[in-house]
Structure 1
């Protein structure tokens, strides 16, 4: 029973933080301008700093090189999920204004805010390298293709422009991620005061993201939390398709039992908490994204213990 409660502690923490954002919105603390400011702080300041501080702290060049081959598994899994999402968009006739968000939420999972504490609770610190390998793949996919797709939802379609596309792809969080990798690979150590600054700024990421989601849920209205086809398809992707696909890949790919367990758990995590933030920043449907983060996070309270029981 102790393991059961430990495995869902990360989810309960997130729900509590979301409730703070919701409650403050109900008290009238936020308007549209302040909400967009929070989104900008998260995506353009806190997350880049979080990437740099996390990677330089938890990785060494030797560890990165050793773990790089394992990146192929989540990359392959997410690539297949992208094609499945495209197929479902056509078959289910997903709302056109949700196409990009739908795909992004279908193949990306919450690998850090929920995945990290859940895996640490289930498997201990020995799971951290595999958690971060999946995180690297997931982060790269989200801040390149995932972000690009979300932006396409919020903009008038026009002619392809390479400069504009590259600017969208190389977003501040991904640049922070790349800088962190370069620092580790070149054995560059930044001054302690600077790393402390990155750590403090990065520490804003989780609480501000959760507060933003709470604001978005309040603005959307809890009455809009529903289970129509757009929502159900995301739940199918996150909690059935993704973990089953990952388990299926390991029938053909050799791996340690711990790697299999961690990757399956990571694949079954809720929707990325940054999806509503990015959607709001680029005028996509952030309410839809916030509702899906809420639904998948709440459902994780049931799904995580079930998966834990199966794979332990």
Structure 2
């Protein structure tokens, strides 16, 4: 792992993010266009990225796949336990506890996780990440909605179809292709690959544009967000790093949970908060602060993993 090469790649990602911020500020795109781009990434390009990664015939058996999935479940259980500790530790108001719980549990996997993981470990790591993120895709529209809605006591009913979102369906399709060593026709495979390559630039543009409407002057007075971000972006990933290293996982299996846990708040926090009556302003501020601080913390995590 060449640390300086990776840092340069990550800097490129953040330059594209700031470009997204700029084009939104200059009204080159508006909120409607940004939402449509976000939908395009979540529903089309990320699923293609997942399928594309699984078209590569990587020597990975059922034991390794179950190991990745088990590791992910263990990390999410740990993060869920932290949702009972961190809000009390930093003195979160009762009406905002649900949003903070959500921000602790769910990182920015789709828009930042995949691009950053790929820039560090290459395309092979997307396969690992796709399996690792299965619990995320299943939980964010079930447990995530519950956590956000608990602040206003809404009764939310979950539908089983919410679990089978495009990313989960892509993993299922990808696993079928991988398990049965199916070779797609050239036209199909190249189409999937071309669309998959749109994920990184579109994702970073969407994040940057999403941050453009936040009133920065109001954020600096919320000290709780900075304490939360320190825990989320550095403390928790380092704890997970220490544990996975003790267990003896290989570089990619050790790195994926550390990097994913150290990602900023999931952009979905704002959308779900608006839809289910959570504090969407707080969610927006959490996304903004954690994303900006991740410019510093992600290179620190990469340095830790490279040594």
Displacement of 1:306 after TM fit? 4.7
In the other structure, the counterpart of 1:291 is: 288
In the other structure, the counterpart of 1:276 is: 267
In the other structure, the counterpart of 1:79 is: 77
In the other structure, the counterpart of 2:37 is: 38
1:1-312 residue pairs with structure 2 within 5 A? Answer: 3-57=2-56, 59-60=57-58, 62-71=59-68, 72-94=70-92, 95-96=96-97, 98-99=99-100, 101-105=102-106, 110-119=112-121, 128=124, 132-137=127-132, 139-152=133-146, 153=148, 158-159=154-155, 161=157, 164-226=158-220, 228-251=223-246, 253-256=247-250, 258=251, 262-263=255-256, 265-266=258-259, 269-271=262-264, 275-276=266-267, 279-280=270-271, 283=274, 285=280, 287-288=284-285, 290-300=287-297, 303-304=300-301, 306-308=303-305, 312=307
Query: Take 1:254 and 1:183, find their aligned partners in 2: how far apart are those partners?
Result: 29
Displacement of 1:271 after TM fit? 2.3
TM-score when normalising by structure 2: 0.79
Displacement of 1:28 after TM fit? 0.9
**1:63 aligned counterpart, secondary structure:** coil
1:3-57 CA-to-partner distances (Å, cap 9, x unmatched) read: 4422312320111111111111121122232122112111112111221112222
Query: Take 2:179 and 2:253, find their aligned partners in 1: how far apart are those partners?
Result: 27
Between the two proteins, the alignment pairs up a number of residues equal to 293
Query: Take 2:261 and 2:8, find their aligned partners in 1: how far apart are those partners?
Result: 16
**2:294 aligned counterpart, secondary structure:** helix
| Residue 119 to residue 269, structure 1, CA distance change in 2 (3 Å) | farther
Displacement of 1:269 after TM fit? 3.6
| Residue 243 to residue 3, structure 1, CA distance change in 2 (3 Å) | same
Query: Take 1:245 and 1:136, find their aligned partners in 2: how far apart are those partners?
Result: 18
**1:21 aligned counterpart, secondary structure:** helix
Q: Which ranges of structure 2 fall in alignment gaps of 5 or more residues?
A: none
Displacement of 1:294 after TM fit? 1.9
